[in-house]
Structure 1
Amino acid sequence: MGRRAPRVHTSQDSIAHLNALQFGLDSELLVELQMRDGRTLIGTVVERPAVQLFLDPQDNEGSNGQVALDISGTGIQLLWLDEIAGFSRLGTS
């Protein structure tokens, strides 16, 4: 496996959170993301994210994923799913 992530998750609770984000963040959905660091981001989901297996910097295997968010005036940002605390659906673009 060649895919790397800054963090990986193996607990059932963490993976359930990642999966809930995966299934909730539909393509072309306008969302408000509440980030774990306190930021709030508003944008359009470019493509539904996928939860995948990655290696972390210590070569531990676990799950994470990324979502591409198109933020008006900023462009597309790739965000790690585990950085997202929650989200609100604002509609479709």
Structure 2
Amino acid sequence: MSRYAPRIHTDPTAIAALEALLPQLHGQTQVELTLEDGSRLLGTVAVQPTLQQYRDADENEGSNGQLRLDDLDTPVQQHVVWLDQITAIRQLPYRE
């Protein structure tokens, strides 16, 4: 069964922008994300995300990816973020 995403990307420039996020999102890295709606999330990257192929509602195929972020203050709470929603990433000093 195909996987669906709210938005997919086929433009090489957009895909390159998504790929540029990946080196900043290594597993167990603590980050502050700024999302396109202006909200911010603080958390620990559970597993480094990858770009994958998805379909949109019109069955077009393209790239996107999902990041699983464990909340920094409440680690049992997980956030799942589409990579194309991220506008900025700031590395945080490690805290336990």
TM-score category by the smaller chain? Answer: over 0.9
SS across alignment from 1:21 = helix
User: Within 1, Cα distance between the matches of 2:70 and 2:85?
Assistant: 17
Deviations 1:13-58 (A, max 9, x none): 2101111112220000000101000001111000000100100011
After the TM superposition, which residues 46-57 of structure 1 pair with which residues of structure 2 at under 5 Å, given as runs? 46-57=46-57
The answer for the alignment partner of 2:86 in structure 1 is: 84
Paired residues of 1:36 and 1:83 also in contact (CA < 8 A)? yes
The answer for the alignment partner of 1:10 in structure 2 is: 10
What is the RMSD computed on CA atoms of the aligned residues? 1.4
Shift of 1:91: 3.3
Q: Which structure features the higher share of strand residues?
A: 1
Regions of 4+ moved over 2 Å: none
In structure 2, stretches of 5+ residues that fail to align are none
Shift of 1:92: 3.9
Query: Structure 1 stretch 5-14 or stretch 72-81: which is displaced more?
Result: 72-81
In structure 1, stretches of 5+ residues that fail to align are none
User: Within 1, Cα distance between the matches of 2:94 and 2:8?
Assistant: 30
Deviations 1:47-73 (A, max 9, x none): 000100100011011000000001122
Q: Give the structure-2-normalised TM-score.
A: 0.89
Aligned residues: percent identity?
42
Shift of 1:86: 1.4
Q: Give the structure-1-normalised TM-score.
A: 0.92
